[in-house]
Amino acid sequence: MTVAAQMLQTYPKDLGGLDPEKLAACIDACVECAQACTACADACLSEDMVAELTKCIRTNLDCADLCEATGRVLSRHTGYDANVTRTVLEACAAACKACGDECESHAEMHEHCRICAESCRRCETACRELIAALG
């Protein structure tokens, strides 16, 4: 059981009708993706062909910021607002799609981009599954 799942179990009130398993999975995916995108951007900066990776670096950093923010928003439940949650999840899923697509275009040449693209796909899926569960 992840720390996110453990923390959700300790929350003293209702989670606003959210599925705790999907919620924990999404928080974990957001945290993982933020880390992968940050590391991928850093690895891109170390590549000899860094000028060709400018868009990848930017997309990685945008995605990392959105994933980090989404993970934090999903970790707070007091005064829960489904509209804010849905909007944040949609933005995160869009950023993950864009970053996954960009990293995938470099995946054959850069292993860090392949790993990052996979993490982005997992996070996008987790966000979309949680959006669907919101109803």
Q: pLDDT tens across 12-49, in order?
A: 988 877 889 999 999 999 999 999 999 999 999 999 99
Residues of the domain holding 101: 19-134
- The CATH number of residue 119's host domain is 1.20.1270.360
Domains held by the chain: number: 1
Percent of the chain whose predicted confidence (pLDDT) is above 90: 87
Task: Return the pLDDT at 80.
Answer: 81
Give the CA angle between residues 126, 18, 123 to the nearest 5°.
10
List of the chain residues with pLDDT < 70? none
Does 3 map to a domain? no
Does 96 map to a domain? yes
Buried b (16+ CB within 10 A) or exposed e, 116-125: bbbbbbbbbe
Q: How far apart are CA 59 and CA 57, in angstroms?
A: 5
Task: Return the pLDDT at 15.
Answer: 81
Q: How far apart are CA 74 and CA 130, in angstroms?
A: 10
- pTM > 0.85: yes
Does 13 map to a domain? no
Give the CA angle between residues 2, 26, 111 to the nearest 5°.
90
